Amino acid sequence: MTISRANAFRDYLNTWVKDLRTLYPHTREGRPRPNIHAAGHIYDFLLLFGPVLSWWCFPFERLIGALQKINTNDHIGGAMESAIMKSVARTANLRHWLRRPACPEAVRQLKVLFDKCFVPANAPSQTNEFVAMKGVRRAYAKHDGVNFSGSSTHAGNASIIYRPIPDHAPIAGQIQWIESKGDTVRLHVRPYQQLSKALYDPFLKYPHFSATTYSSVLGEKEDVINLDDIISHAARYDYSYGRSVLVNLSRQ
């Protein structure tokens, strides 16, 4: 994060607030809404903590989602929280017990089966401990702690920014399928076609926002790349005239 990018955010936000009051005159009355006031402080957070990806609340919301899936036996109030904490504590104690040095060999074998059924959330990205893959196709591949999937497995994890060849400018594409041969993982990616010159890219005037508009049509030719050729996931949104905007989600 740089000061110029933080300043650009503040300028864009001020422009949005000004135009909001022009388009919706009723917003001129009274004080600004709390969310607009809070958005103004994002400028300070960018300078203090860096890019939003470093401190947004999605990881906490994901944890809340995991807690909500715990069976609470329809308890409410304090009994519900108690049931959740007991479930989390018992799971942690079970994993700790299975990892203890004095764990009997027979139980260690049960741990192997346990991990094959329930892969630990903190499992290392490169491990041969779990079930061996059959065939050359994989449902997903993990790289630098991030999951990438083929489009038929998880469309959201299939949109990426990548380099089709070394030193090539980054482009957007969609993973079609993932090939695994031994320790080698290769991704078959179809790139998004470039936007027609007859169509307008509204994101060109926002150079600090890592978004590019492409055609919604994928190219026919596949690029076969390595995991190291991926730059980041991409958030994709389809809008008018067959256009798709893809936002680079890199933490860099």
Nearest Cα to Cα of residue 169 among 196, 199, 194:
194
**DSSP structural state of residue 25:** G
pLDDT of residue 162: 96
pLDDT score recorded for residue 182: 80
Distances (CA, A) of 140 to 112, 155, 176: 21, 11, 11
C-alpha distance from residue 183 to each of 62, 130, 226 (Å): 31, 14, 12
Closest to 223 (Cα-Cα) out of 184, 183, 168? 168
CA-nearest of 194, 202, 235 to 218 is: 194
CA angle, 131 as apex, 129 and 135 as ends, to 5°? 130
In 3D, which of 214, 132, 221, 110 has the Cα closest to residue 180?
132
Flag residues of the chain having pLDDT under 70.
115-135, 251-252
Distance between CA atoms of residues 205 and 15, nearest Å: 13
The span from the CA of 75 to the CA of 17, in Å, is 45
* pLDDT computed for residue 131 by the predictor: 47
d(CA 140, CA 233): 13
> How does 109-120 read in b/e, with b if 16+ C-beta sit within 10 Å?
eeeeeebeeeee
Residue 212 exposed, middle or buried by CB count within 10 Å (0-12, 13-18, 19+): buried
